[in-house]
Structure 1
Amino acid sequence: MSGNFEALPGGGAAVSLDEVEVSILRSLAVQMLELIGPGDEPAEGEDPLAALFQDGPSEPPSDPALARLFPDAYGKPGAEAADEDPELRAASAEFRRFTENDLRARKREDALAVVRSLDGLVHDGRAGGRLELTAEESRHWLGALNDLRLTIGTRLDVTDEDEGSGLYRLPDGDPRKPMVMAYLWLGILQETLIDTLIS
């Protein structure tokens, strides 16, 4: 797989993707949209402004991947609620209530931007080619790539100590191998996209 972004004049980025790469990225972005869930659209006749100020959830998600995407603002990462200070739990719940809906909306926008730009690479029923992103599209892609890596890393139980571990040298028959390969490839995409945005 390729996956090296290059800087474009004006702050954008470009990468060449073949049909398989487009398919993988699009599939992962769609799965991310499904994981995050639909947005809360105002009911018919409901004031859209009031819907903007609707409270979000106050409890962390039970799915470990969603908990990684929407972590508590206070306390130790991965700490059991019973082990935490009740004041920190209350502060985290309050913070989540006012921020999670916006964070979910942003993550949906990021994943949708990936799907839309990849759909633009489909010509005559075939996907692939040189993808050119504006600076704003590049920022959406960076957010989506980060979310995808966090999700896959959580599903694989990747930790900071796993660098150079056996997880990256799995035999071809291991069912985790495709996820590990996707995780590593997304890391290359993310790293080269960051480099283009800061150069």
Structure 2
Amino acid sequence: MSAFTRHRRSGAVIATFSGFEADLLRSLASQIVELLHHEAAVPDDRDPLEVLMDFSGPTTAPEDPVLARLFPTAYVEDEEAAAEFRRFTEGTLREGKARAAGTIIDTLEEAGLPDELDEDGLTIDVEMDEATAQTWMRSFTDIRLALATRLGVEDGDEEYWYSLPDDDPRAQAHDIYEWVGWLQETLIGALS
């Protein structure tokens, strides 16, 4: 995988992923979309105006630890204010995060990532404008928060993760967490 860079002439943000890396990113983004939509299922047959004016969102923090991390309580000291804030904002925030993850999936598929990978040595060249790159960056944050929450990553625990054997599934998942962090850093660098 090459780091994200900015094309000198066009200004586009570009990177090259192996087929495995691109498929892994697509899988991570798909899992975020699925998680965000799982608890927020809303009937699709509602009137569009009703959907626009619907402020009947959740009033309590999500039970899933990842969702609780993605949607923290806004007013820890005031339950009523926190419930009202969540009711008016969480649905829109969920949709925004799902759309951002969907942008990663769509960009990879537009770049030529097939539905099924059956070819060794396949590489995917991704080229995106600045707005799309910003969306990827936001979604990388969500993916990293989700991975960190599921793994129990904490500040200063690097020694623990590096002490795990390479074949430990937790070490492999942590490697993915770090890789997405590296991708995010190179993307920030390309956008600077």
**5+ residue gaps, structure 1:** 76-84
| Conservation of the 8 A alpha-carbon contact between 2:69 and 2:145 | yes
Q: Which of 175, 178, 199 is the equivalent residue of 2:172?
A: 178
| Conservation of the 8 A alpha-carbon contact between 1:42 and 1:48 | no
| Conservation of the 8 A alpha-carbon contact between 2:19 and 2:113 | no
Number of residue equivalences: 184
| Conservation of the 8 A alpha-carbon contact between 2:22 and 2:124 | no
Percentage of identical aligned residues: 39
| Conservation of the 8 A alpha-carbon contact between 1:3 and 1:185 | no
Aligned alpha-carbon RMSD (Å): 2.1
* Structure 1 partner of 2:84: 94
* Structure 2 partner of 1:14: 14
Q: Distance in 2 between matches of 1:110 and 1:100?
A: 15
- Report the TM-score, using the length of structure 1 for normalisation: 0.84
* Structure 2 partner of 1:105: 95
Report SS of the residue matched to 2:16: strand
Report SS of the residue matched to 2:59: coil
| Conservation of the 8 A alpha-carbon contact between 1:121 and 1:128 | no
| Conservation of the 8 A alpha-carbon contact between 1:12 and 1:135 | yes
| Conservation of the 8 A alpha-carbon contact between 2:113 and 2:124 | no
Q: 1:53 to 1:189 in 2, by over 3 A?
A: same
Give the superposition deviation at 1:193. Answer: 0.7
Q: Deviations over 1:89-146 (max 9, x none)?
A: 1111110000001100100110110001111232687553221111111111011111
Q: 1:74 to 1:123 in 2, by over 3 A?
A: closer
* Structure 2 partner of 1:25: 25
Q: Which of 103, 106, 116 is the equivalent residue of 2:106?
A: 116
* Structure 1 partner of 2:150: 155
Give the superposition deviation at 1:10. Answer: 5.9
* Structure 2 partner of 1:142: 137
Q: 1:166 to 1:21 in 2, by over 3 A?
A: same
* Structure 1 partner of 2:75: 74
Q: Distance in 2 between matches of 1:195 and 1:161?
A: 24
- Report the TM-score, using the length of structure 2 for normalisation: 0.87
